[in-house]
Amino acid sequence: MDYYDQHVHTNFSFDSDEKMAAYLKLAGENFVSTEHLDYKALDDKSGDNLIDYEAYSREIHRLEEETGKHIFKGVEIGYFAGREPEIRAYLQRHDFDIKLLSFHRSPDFDFDDAIVSQMDPLKVADQYYRLMWKGINAFHDADVLAHFDYGVRKLNLTSGMFETTAGVLLTNILKLAVRYNMAFELNTTSMYKYHNIGLYDYAVEIYKQLGGKRYTIGSDAHDTSQYMRNYENAVDMLKAHDIHHVNVYRKNAMIIVPLDDVDEGIKY
């Protein structure tokens, strides 16, 4: 089975205008979109970003009938402390093939906001990974830990600076990811748009040494120009760490996709 992008947004996400049909022109026989489910503070007047699940399901059914391709349902859960009951309730009511877990927001701002680049990078890193550590302890009903570096994308952190500031926290976070059978995502937007290749090289080895065996590659595409972007480069990084497979998810079940003929003898 060929690998297919495990982190893709369509116009069913609040921050994308791309139609699912446009991606299907590029995709092989299998495709998944992972739409935003972002919760915020209860008093945030902008409101939560929820998926119109019924419309999403109808569009998938229509396009499967039209194209004959297999289209899988995915969600990117934007965790927010204190909103765990609402997150769990939504997931109980709606079925997804793959669930990504992301940490986008502090109580005061999104870590993608422009203001972050003006803040002390070491303080931001410490704040972000403490937030993630508390969050993954409180909620871990997901298949994949997405873009572990989201909170420091706007910063100029070397691997050395990162290790000094957040290395212990990240190690503890990845221990929990392994414990709860969460895959490590190589997010190619982070790696190549935000130039965090070094951080991924550092983190993927920690995850592996902790016993992690599940890996996904996601472009984090918000339009078709980004779909499967830099996939081969991410594959090269995995092979450099003596990892010879990636994973895809269907109905929350993990499937192994070999990258070459190397027998890793992996037991899950």
Output the pLDDT for position 47. 86
Q: Is residue 9 part of a domain?
A: no
Output the pLDDT for position 1. 67
Lowest mean pLDDT among 66-80, 158-172, 224-238: 158-172
Quote the number of domains for the chain. 1
Q: Is residue 6 part of a domain?
A: no
Q: Is residue 1 part of a domain?
A: no
Query: Is residue 182 pLDDT above 80, yes or no?
Result: yes
Q: Is residue 13 part of a domain?
A: no
- Per DSSP, helices labelled H in 25-150 are 53-67, 84-93, 121-138
Whether 7 contacts 219, CB under 8 Å: yes
Q: Is residue 155 part of a domain?
A: yes
Model confidence at 65, pLDDT cuts 50, 70, 90, reads very high
- What are 218's strand-pairing partners? 187
Query: Is residue 267 pLDDT above 80, yes or no?
Result: no
Query: Is residue 82 pLDDT above 70, yes or no?
Result: yes
Report which secondary-structure segment, H or E, holds 174.
helix 159-179
Q: Is residue 5 part of a domain?
A: no
Query: Is residue 156 pLDDT above 90, yes or no?
Result: no
Model confidence at 211, pLDDT cuts 50, 70, 90, reads very high
Looking at residue 152, what DSSP letter applies?
G
Lowest mean pLDDT among 71-80, 115-124, 145-154, 219-228: 115-124
Q: Which residue segment(s) compose the domain that 106 sits in?
A: 20-258
Q: Is residue 10 part of a domain?
A: no
- DSSP strand E in the chain: where? 30-38, 70-78, 98-102, 144-145, 183-187, 215-218, 245-250, 253-258
Compute the average pLDDT of residues 170-186.
99
Q: Is residue 158 part of a domain?
A: yes
Output the pLDDT for position 158. 84
| C-alpha separations of 180 from 160, 183, 234, 244 in Å | 28, 9, 24, 22
CATH of the domain at 82: 3.20.20.140
Nearest to 237 by CA among 199, 266, 267, 268: 199
Nearest to 111 by CA among 130, 126, 124: 124
